[in-house]
Each structure stands twice: as C-alpha cells, then as structure tokens.
Structure 1
Amino acid sequence: MSSNKRAEIERLLDESYEIESILSTWQINGFVTPQELREGQERYQSWYARATPLVSEVTRDQFKNMYEGGVFIQRIKSFLGNPIEINQFYDSTQADSPIPKWTYPFSTTFLNSFHEQRCILQAEIYSVAEAAPILSELAEAFARFPSFLQVLQSSGRSNIPAPRIEREEDLQVLVGACLRLLYDDVRPEDYVPDYGGGRSRVDFLLPAVGIVVETKMTRKTLTDKKVGEELLIDWGRYTRHPDCRGIFALVYDPDRRLVNPAGLQSDLSQDQSNPATRVIVVR
C-alpha cells in the first residue's frame, strides 16, 4: 500500500471518532438545530465520499450497505435523515418501555454500522501489507523455475520421462506441484462469484495466505499486449473472490515471444494496489 493511501485511511479513521462524538449528542440532548443537523450530515457525507474509493471492490458493497441500509434494516442514512424522530409506538409513561424512544436509535442504526465501516477501512491497511511479502517470496521461488525444468529435462535417466510443456495445462500441472512444496492447502480451479452472468475460475488459490495464482503460456497469438490485456481482464474477476488479497501471475515464455518482458512485469506488478499484484516472466 502506498504511504499516501495509508495516511489518508488513518486520517479518515481519526476523523470518524470526531464525527461519532458530535452525532452521539443529538439523541442525548433530545434535540438538534437545523444548522447542527446540516453540518453533521455534510461532515459524514464528506467522510463517506472520501472513504468509499479507498475500499476494495470485494468489500465496497458491504461498506455502502452500512450507509444505505434497506427496507427492513435501517442504517446510517435513516439516522441522518431524521435523528430525533420519536417512535410512534413509544410509551413515555412506561419506565421500561420495550419500544425505544427514537425511530432510528443512534446505537443500532448509526453506531453499529459506522463501526463496521471503520473495521473495513482498517482491514484495507493490513490486507495489502500482508500480501506483498508473500508475492515477493513466490516471485523469488518461481524465478528459479527454468533451472528446475532444466534439471528434470537433463537428468539422463531413461526410465524417468522428462516433463514436456506444450500447453498451458502442462504448465499448470508443474506449477501446482511446485506450490505444494510451499503450501499445504493448494486449491486448483477455485471458482469466484458470478461475474456478468457467468462463472470464472482462478488457476490456483492459496487460502492460507489469500493469494490467487494465475499461469499464462505465450504462443503465436499471445504476445506482450495480449498477455497484459488478458491478465487485467482476469484480475477484474478475481477481485470478487472473498479470499483474494493478492494475485501472482506466472508467464511462461519458452520461445521468447515477449518483446519487453521487463516492461510487462513492471507495469502490472503493484504492491500498493488492493489486491496487490505481481507478474513474473520466466523462459
């Protein structure tokens, strides 16, 4: 995560407690002036508008729902709309009335939802920070993938057939085997939620560390620009996977079809994004 994004999230978290302190007095006092109401609404709306783009796509709907609410569950939007509306079923003559005084109680319609939004923002700080070192470890391990293949293919033992990578499926078999040397739980072809009416799958998921692993093998019709485009399209789908905190892409280019592999790696490797991404080209 970039230092600027982290600093902005930390500022928003600090500001959230100030907003909570101001709005909590409305129902305690039992009244709020029109100016105080407007200022409080604008203060929260500004916070919400700045915070939403910083939340990853995976949790953005949840973050928005904490504001919007619905027909049966009232949340922040309802509280801000009329914080001192008295519940029509409230009986002030009962000391222990089972019906709350306010139609939109601060604790249940605002505070609980605001707390959830804070938790989502806090998770943004840690999720990317945790993924980047793991992506670096995977990149370091698979940088030696060509040496691994060379040893297997030049073993000189006729009774042990050397692996041949002729298709992307062959590559996936070997990558999957290597991943199992590093992690106990390696899930091939794990599906992501529905996307545009269809289901997509990732090549491998490492659920213990929240990393999606994708493989690409270059061919005559799959060179620099096309590889980059396909990876970006795939990543747009993978971000919907609830366990995805980082994406590692291994591009195998045995025939050296890529003109600028270093550029591809540099352009698509983003430690500061969420999910973090890392691309490595091996030949």
Structure 2
Amino acid sequence: MIKFPALTANAIRQDNPDGTMTQKTLAERFDELELEYQEVISTTYTAFSEFSGKNKEYVDSPKYKTWIARAKKLITDSYGKDSDFYTGFVEAESGFYASNHEILTKQLKPAFDAAKADLVYSIPAISNALANINDGLELIINILNKFPAFCRQLKKRHDGRPTIEISDEYDVQDLVHSLLVLHFDDVRAEEASPSYAGSSSRQDFLLKKEKIVIEVKKTRKTLSAGKIGEELIIDMARYCAHPDCDTLVCFVYDPDGWVNNPKGVISDLERGDTEGKTRVVIAQF
C-alpha cells in the first residue's frame, strides 16, 4: 500500500474561499463509503469457526479489506493519523475470536460513524491546513484540462508563421514542463523512480515542495485506452516506493480520440488506488 502523510493535497478539493466545496467533498466521500459498506454487508455468508466451534457470519474478505483501507484513508484525510478517530478505528480492527462480520458491524462501523458525525465541526481547521497544498494540485489539474486549448492557440501564429508540432510524447512533455515552471519554483524533470518488479523507470516531473509526481502520456494508434491503462497501473504501483510522491497525477493527452470512454477510464484507475492518491486527467480535443 502507498503510505502518505496526513492532510495531503487531494484529500479535499476546495474550490471556494469559504470552504463550502471542501465540506461537500469530504461528506460525499463518507457517503460513498456508507454505500460501499452496504455492498460489503450484502456478501454476508455463514461458515463454521474453528476458534469458537460454531457457525458465524462472515463477509467477503477482499471487499472487507478494501473498505477498511479506504476508510482509514478518509479518516486520515479528515483528521490526521494522530487523531483519536484514526487511533480508535485502527484499534477497532482487533478481534482474535471475532469474525470479520462482527468486527465490521460491531467495532469498525461505530468508529466510522463517530468520525463522520464529527466532520461538520472539523472542516474549517482542515480547510486552512490544506488550502495551500490543495491549491497547487488543483492548479495542475486545471492546466492539464486546458492543455488542448493551449495547443490549439499555439497553432494560431501571426501571418502563418511556423509553430510547434506536437507529434509525440516528448513534445507533450516539453510543453507541460514549460507550463509548470510558470507556476512552480521547483519542477524536476525526468527524476528516476525506485525499482519496481526488478526494473526502474523515469517519471516525467516531480514537484518537490508539493510532493506531486506528474506522469505524461500521449495516445497513438498503437497506444490506446487498454494499453494506457495497463501502463498507468504499473506507474501507480511504482510510485508507492517513491519517498517524494504524496500524489500521482496521470496526464493522458488524447488529441485523436483513441480513448472512447475517458470518464470510465478515469473512474476505474482512480478507484483502483485504494489509498485515493491518484488523479487522472484525459484531455481530448
């Protein structure tokens, strides 16, 4: 699992100075986990327990573990790992003779509910702590979403003068780099990422202060949605070992529309990161 410090950039997406978007976003994330909790409960089945010597109720183990990981992440983003809410939730995982159904319903869910109930009182403090970091991430997302418009404008040269041709991934990287240095002081290009599965790779950009890694890709006929998704999943796993990566932004420039369902790809990739630290932008004309 990717381990990140508390109160990191994409924990809260704050659009308004008064923090109203912040409160809505965290509340929505708690509501989403409520729905996921019901999905986990729907997998309940009965099996014999060797420890207790009787039948007990259980839930699907992978779904159970995923829900716990996402709940921990949300509580960390909301209150920090030093908070009583986080400590209480972690302690609620224990239960040597209890089934996972018992732990989930009698221990974890009450701890989760307590954290959710107190959210409304904690939003202002969290908003202030995250404002500067979050502004940087949202600025990056805005730049990348508007990248196609930037490219179109480059072609509108006075008197038909020559312009930059964006033919491959390196061209996209050069332009993204130029845009980033307008807004950030320490943009490091082509930083070597740690070894993963016996190999190492090079990330495109590291924003050292913000602890944000930006991975840039450009689609082509031989690199469409399926292949892009596979590569990004590998990238997401790689960066879990990078000490300077709190947030991974995956930028896919798709000017020719090779990705037929960008929203679906984005949703699948972001949900695939149970720590919630990946943001995906697919920019098309």
2:147 aligned to which of 145, 148, 159 = 145
1:13 aligned to which of 80, 87, 107 = 87
1:169 is paired with a residue of what secondary structure?
Answer: helix
Q: Which amino acid aligns with 2:277?
A: A
For the 8 Å contact 1:168–1:216, the answer to whether it is kept is yes
Per-residue deviation, 1:196: 2.7
For the 8 Å contact 2:193–2:238, the answer to whether it is kept is yes
For the 8 Å contact 1:188–1:204, the answer to whether it is kept is yes
Superposed, 1:66-145 pairs within 5 Å as 134-145=136-147
Q: Which amino acid aligns with 1:278?
A: R
For the 8 Å contact 2:148–2:255, the answer to whether it is kept is no
Residues of 2 paired with 1:16 and 1:154: CA distance? 57
Superposed, 1:166-181 pairs within 5 Å as 166-181=167-182
Structure 1 or 2, whichever has the larger Rg, is 1
TM-score (norm 2): 0.54
Residues of 1 paired with 2:175 and 2:262: CA distance? 22
For the 8 Å contact 2:270–2:276, the answer to whether it is kept is no
1:203 aligns with 2:277: no
Q: Which amino acid aligns with 2:138?
A: S
Per-residue deviation, 1:234: 1.2
TM-score (norm 1): 0.54
Per-residue deviation, 1:220: 0.9
1:172 is paired with a residue of what secondary structure?
Answer: helix
Q: Which amino acid aligns with 1:190?
A: E
Residues of 2 paired with 1:275 and 1:241: CA distance? 16
Residues of 2 paired with 1:245 and 1:177: CA distance? 22
Cα distance change on mapping 1:215 and 1:209 into 2, 3 Å: same
Per-residue deviation, 1:189: 0.8
Residues of 2 paired with 1:15 and 1:279: CA distance? 29
CA RMSD in angstroms, aligned pairs only:
3.6
Alignment partner, residue 283 of structure 2: 282
1:201 is paired with a residue of what secondary structure?
Answer: coil
Per-residue deviation, 1:269: 3.0
Q: CA deviation digits over 1:115-138, x for unaligned, max 9?
A: xxxxxxxxxx99xx7876643332
Residues of 1 paired with 2:86 and 2:185: CA distance? 38
Alignment partner, residue 268 of structure 1: 269
List runs of 5+ in structure 2 lacking aligned partners.
Answer: 1-10, 12-28, 31-70, 97-103, 105-125
Residues of 2 paired with 1:164 and 1:15: CA distance? 53
Alignment partner, residue 226 of structure 1: 227
Cα distance change on mapping 1:271 and 1:206 into 2, 3 Å: farther
Q: Which moved more, 1:231-240 or 1:264-273?
A: 264-273
Q: Identity rate of aligned residues, in percent?
A: 38
Q: Which amino acid aligns with 2:267?
A: S
1:156 aligns with 2:230: no
2:251 is paired with a residue of what secondary structure?
Answer: strand
Residues of 1 paired with 2:272 and 2:242: CA distance? 18
Q: Which amino acid aligns with 1:139?
A: I
For the 8 Å contact 1:211–1:248, the answer to whether it is kept is yes
Alignment partner, residue 182 of structure 1: 183
2:138 is paired with a residue of what secondary structure?
Answer: helix
Residues of 2 paired with 1:164 and 1:132: CA distance? 33
Q: CA deviation digits over 1:55-98, x for unaligned, max 9?
A: xxxxxxxxxxxxxxxxxxxxxxxxxxxxxxxxxxxxxxxxxxxx
Residues of 2 paired with 1:245 and 1:229: CA distance? 21
Q: CA deviation digits over 1:189-212, x for unaligned, max 9?
A: 111222233222211100110100
